């Protein structure tokens, strides 16, 4: 069984084809439920067909590429990730997990290996909420967690609805609402997701891969706004100003102070404001700003910590409103739940790494991943992180193919073990 080797040449070829088809002149753009993501899905579907894998899609157009097992009625083991990207992102975020699964199954097909239970590589739609403001959209749809209101959610770049984008690709939003969920805790044995690490921990530790213990949840205000009063920059004294820029700057600075204080108290937390803009039509060099749009993204492994930083946010807004005579509108709050990875699957991955003499450290994920949604739905889930220089959500992602190969070998070993012993979870 150890003589089976994943098809790394195929994975390298697919990475290059994905790069060529989604390069936007600066980085990689594979827009959710758009042409970029669809080209990636078409490429993987064609590849799976040439390998003789069984193909199917659910009502949300998630793609399932399956090597049938000897016991096809047993719940399958699923691996995979997403194929969409943020605007001007990198080539490896998400795609590495799908290509890893294909490389494993291609090696099994070539060796004539058939598992006891089916193994499916899932290419998941719309994981990146930069496009639609819904966390884990494709995974939620697969588990039947999408409602009619979600179908009317508009994409950030073109204001067209999710239902319209589905229709463009041959899908049907109404069928999504009435069809039986494709996935459930009862019909999935386990889910193992390979993904690049999107922070510096593995790089700093000199380790090629990591086994994830848990995934942080989030609390977000994606479309917040502060209103002040436009006025002349030279003619308005300080005490007569209602400056929206000053107000939001003070809020963000205060939240960073709260973050530092909570960390000192032992809380695990990140605080980010990734978008900040004045009104392009009204703002001017010689004006005090009366309108600023911004967002806030809190992440933590603790629901209590998220609630606490949210309290600090509202307290600071009350103070700043009184001090500067401005008003805040936070807009809709969105959340994703923290998730713990399955202990048995973590042990399985660590054992696989040790058997292959591949160093692997333990770490937590600050970023969200589809594995979190699988876990919160009751599916035993695990993640393998691959070292990646230069962070993520930018064009400079830099995953070495040797590190990818090491992680894929660990995934291969774990999937074979799980698929040969998976009749009982």
**Domain limits, the chain:** 8-215+338-420, 218-336
pTM for this prediction: 0.88
How far apart are the C-alpha atoms of 382 and 370, rounded to whole Å? 10
What three-state secondary structure class fits 361?
strand
Query: What does the angle CA 52 – CA 373 – CA 8 come to, to the nearest 5 degrees?
Result: 35
Mean pLDDT by 10 residues, the chain (425 residues): 86 98 97 98 98 97 97 95 97 98 98 96 96 94 96 96 97 93 97 96 96 95 97 96 98 98 97 95 95 97 96 98 98 92 97 97 94 97 96 94 98 95 54
For 134, the 3-state DSSP assignment is coil
Alpha-helical regions (H) of 112-180: 137-142, 148-151, 162-168, 173-178
- Alpha helix ranges (H) inside 51-94: none
CA distance to 11, 59, 80, 121, 139, per residue, from 56 (Å):
21, 10, 14, 11, 15
Biggest CA pair distance of the chain: 81
Contacts of 223 (CB under 8 A, 6+ apart): 133, 293, 295, 331, 332
Supply 320's token pair: 């700043």
CATH topology of domain 218-336: Alpha-Beta Plaits (3.30.70)
Closest by alpha carbon to 417, among 355, 359, 330? 355
Which burial class, exposed, middle or buried, applies to 21 when counting CB atoms under 10 A from its CB (0-12, 13-18, 19+)?
middle
The two tokens of residue 287 are 């004006």
The C-alpha atoms of residue 252 and residue 114 are separated, in whole angstroms, by: 55
Q: How far is CA 107 from the centre of its chain?
A: 27
- The Cα 341–Cα 381 span in angstroms is 5
Q: What size, in residues, is the chain?
A: 425
Residue 332: both structure tokens together: 């809709």
pLDDT of residue 425: 44
Q: What is the pLDDT of residue 214?
A: 95
Q: Can you give the pLDDT at residue 72?
A: 86
CA count, 13 A, side-chain hemisphere, 258: 23
Task: Report the Cα 5 to chain-centroid distance in Å.
Answer: 28
Identify which of 80, 101, 75, 342 has the alpha carbon closest to the alpha carbon of residue 188.
Answer: 75
The pLDDT of residue 84: 98
Q: Would you say 21 and 44 are in contact if contact means Cβ atoms under 8 Å apart? A: no
| Cβ atoms of residues 11 and 408 within 8 Å | yes
Computed on alpha carbons and rounded to an integer, the radius of gyration of the chain in Å comes to 23
Q: Look at the domain 8-215+338-420 and name its fold.
A: Aminopeptidase (3.40.630)
Q: Tell me, what's the pLDDT at 337?
A: 87
3-class DSSP state for residue 88?
Answer: coil
């Amino acid at each position: 069984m150890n003589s089976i080797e994943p098809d790394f040449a195929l994975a390298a070829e697919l990475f290059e084809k994905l790069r060529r088809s989604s390069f936007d002149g600066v980085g990689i753009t594979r827009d959710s439920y758009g042409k970029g993501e669809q080209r990636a899905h078409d490429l993987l579907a064609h590849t799976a067909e040439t390998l003789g894998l069984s193909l199917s899609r659910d009502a949300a157009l998630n793609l399932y590429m399956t090597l049938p097992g000897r016991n096809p009625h047993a719940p399958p083991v699923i691996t995979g990730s997403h194929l969409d990207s943020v605007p001007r992102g990198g080539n490896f975020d998400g795609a590495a997990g799908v290509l890893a699964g294909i490389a494993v199954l291609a090696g099994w097909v070539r060796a004539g290996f058939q598992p006891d239970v089916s193994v499916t590589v899932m290419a998941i739609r719309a994981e990146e909420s930069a496009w639609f403001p819904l966390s884990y959209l494709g995974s939620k749809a697969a588990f039947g967690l999408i409602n009619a209101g979600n179908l009317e959610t508009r994409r950030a770049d073109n204001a067209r609805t999710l239902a319209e984008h589905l229709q463009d690709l041959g899908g049907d939003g109404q069928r999504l609402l009435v069809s039986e969920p494709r996935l459930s805790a009862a019909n999935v044995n386990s889910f193992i997701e390979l993904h690049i690490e999107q922070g510096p921990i593995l790089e700093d530790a000199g380790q090629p891969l990591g086994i994830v213990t848990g995934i942080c949840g989030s609390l977000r205000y994606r479309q917040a706004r502060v209103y002040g009063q436009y006025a002349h920059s030279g003619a308005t004294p300080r005490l007569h100003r209602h400056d929206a820029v000053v107000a939001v700057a003070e809020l963000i600075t205060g939240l960073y102070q709260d973050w530092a204080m909570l960390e000192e108290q032992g809380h695990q937390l990140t605080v980010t404001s990734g978008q900040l803009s004045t009104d392009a039509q009204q703002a001017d060099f010689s004006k005090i700003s009366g309108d600023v749009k911004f967002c806030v993204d809190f992440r933590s492994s603790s629901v209590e910590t998220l609630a606490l930083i949210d309290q600090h946010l509202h307290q600071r807004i009350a103070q700043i409103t009184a001090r500067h005579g401005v008003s805040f509108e936070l807009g809709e709050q969105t959340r994703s739940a923290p998730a713990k990875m399955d202990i048995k699957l973590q042990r399985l991955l660590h054992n696989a790494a040790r058997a292959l003499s591949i160093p692997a450290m333990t770490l937590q994920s600050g970023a969200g991943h589809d594995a979190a949604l699988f876990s919160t739905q009751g599916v035993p889930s695990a993640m393998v992180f691959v070292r990646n220089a230069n962070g993520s959500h930018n064009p400079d992602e830099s995953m070495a193919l040797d590190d990818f190969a090491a992680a894929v070998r660990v995934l291969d070993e774990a999937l074979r073990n799980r698929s040969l012993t998976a009749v009982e979870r």
